[in-house]
Each structure stands twice: as structure tokens, then as C-alpha cells.
């Protein structure tokens, strides 16, 4: 038999689940549009469609050949030694990302685009955003210069195998046999 208390708890639990689901579905869909002018100018427009979005105050992307960065008002970009560009909202003018379109750009030495992101992709990893929420995104960005290829590795391996210092002498099997025979004659 169900008691009034049990029915109340069950109803409260159901109401909480519905409220949570309504909040999750009311949140907009995060999107990024990548553009490339073919001369090394890469841009990304971040936006949210279909609802509001929690505040985001940082975007981090691995980008190759960065020569210059361009930031919206109130944002600043830093580039580290590992080719990561991080855009941070400073809080001075402008606004953090809350779903309205915002654009970040770079000038790269590379003019070709490639898709970044995907599980296990360490050369072209996902972009990251953080603030009140944390997430990952795929985007198009500059191709690494030079693009790592297996052909280049084979050429390097061939060069290393052909090169040997003159001070290192590899044994000559015929001379080795003659030397051993001479030792055997002298010892007996």
C-alpha cells in the first residue's frame, strides 16, 4: 500500500527530473564556423542557436604557424611554445561569450586548412572552452608546416642507414676468417 509520504516523495522526484530536463533542453546548441581566406587568415565564429548558454571566458586552440592574433574587445590572446593560442576574457569592456556570435582570428604562415579534433588526435586536437561550463569542439585550422608524413620519415631513415662514420669499421668476413686461421697456425 502506498502512503501519502511515499506518493509525495515520488511526485517530488518526478518534478525535479522534469525541471532538470527542461533546463537541459532549454540550453542552446554551441556551434563554431571556421573560415579561411586562402592567404593564412583563419577565423572562427562561435555562437549558440536555440536558447541561452552559460558564460564562457576562455577558448583554447592548437594552431600552427601563428604570426598574429586578433581578439574582440575585452579579450586577449596568448600563444605558448606548444602552438596553443588561448583567448581570455579580461573583463574590461566587451563581454564574455554567452551565446551571441563572437569572432577570433589569426594570421598563419600556413595557407592550407585541415580539420582539428577527434578522439586521439594529438597533432590536430579538439579546441576547448571553459567558464561556467567546459567543452570541446572541432574546427578547421592551419595545416602544420611542414606536414608530418611517412615519406619524410622514410627518407630520414634511409639517410641514417647510408651514413656511417669513417672511424667505425664493420668487420669483413673474409679478413676475419684469415685472421682466425693465422692465429690457429701460430698457436699450434
- Are 112 and 170 in the same domain? no
Q: How many independent structural domains does the chain possess? A: 2
Confirm whether 4 is domain-assigned.
no
Please, what is the end-to-end C-alpha distance for the chain in angstroms? Answer: 108
Q: Is the per-residue pLDDT at 188 higher than 70?
A: no
Give the 3-state secondary structure of residue 114. Answer: strand
Question: Three-state SS string across 92-108, please?
Answer: CCCCCECCCCEEEEEEE
Q: Between 176 and 74, where is the model more confident?
A: 74
| 87 has a pLDDT exceeding 70 | yes
pLDDT digits (tens, 9 = 90+) for 136-157: 999 999 999 876 556 555 555 5
Same domain, yes or no: 122 and 174: no
- For the cut 80, the answer to whether the pLDDT of residue 4 exceeds it is no
Cα diameter, the chain:
110
Joined grid coordinates for residue 107: 594570421
Residues pairing with 134 in the sheet: 130
pLDDT at site 59 = 98
Full residue range of the structural domain in which residue 117 is found: 29-142
Cell numbers given for 51: 536558447
146: enclosing H helix or E strand: none
Domain for residue 72, yes or no?
A: yes
Cβ neighbours for 85, distance < 8 A, ≥ 6 positions apart: 60, 61, 62, 63, 66, 69, 77, 78, 79, 106
**pLDDT at 9 > cutoff 80:** no
Please check whether residues 45 and 125 belong to one and the same domain: yes
Q: Are residues 85 and 178 both part of a single domain?
A: no
CA angle centred on 110, ends 108 and 116, rounded to 5°: 90
Amino acid at each position: 500500500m502506498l502512503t501519502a509520504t511515499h506518493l509525495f516523495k515520488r511526485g517530488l522526484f518526478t518534478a525535479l527530473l522534469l525541471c532538470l530536463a527542461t533546463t537541459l533542453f532549454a540550453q542552446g546548441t554551441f556551434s563554431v564556423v571556421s573560415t579561411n581566406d586562402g592567404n593564412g587568415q583563419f577565423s572562427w565564429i562561435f555562437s549558440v542557436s536555440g536558447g541561452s548558454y552559460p558564460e564562457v571566458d576562455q577558448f583554447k586552440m592548437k594552431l600552427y604557424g601563428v604570426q598574429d592574433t586578433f581578439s574582440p574587445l575585452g579579450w586577449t590572446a596568448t600563444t605558448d611554445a606548444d602552438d596553443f593560442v588561448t583567448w581570455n576574457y579580461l573583463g574590461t569592456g566587451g563581454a564574455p561569450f554567452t551565446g551571441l556570435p563572437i569572432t577570433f582570428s589569426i594570421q598563419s604562415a600556413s595557407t592550407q586548412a585541415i580539420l582539428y579534433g577527434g578522439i586521439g588526435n594529438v597533432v590536430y586536437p579538439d579546441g576547448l572552452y571553459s567558464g561556467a561550463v567546459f567543452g570541446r569542439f572541432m574546427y578547421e585550422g592551419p595545416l602544420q608546416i611542414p606536414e608530418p608524413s611517412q615519406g619524410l620519415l622514410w627518407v630520414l631513415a634511409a639517410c641514417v642507414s647510408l651514413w656511417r662514420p669513417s672511424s667505425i669499421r664493420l668487420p669483413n668476413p673474409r679478413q676475419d676468417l684469415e685472421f682466425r686461421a693465422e692465429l690457429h697456425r701460430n698457436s699450434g
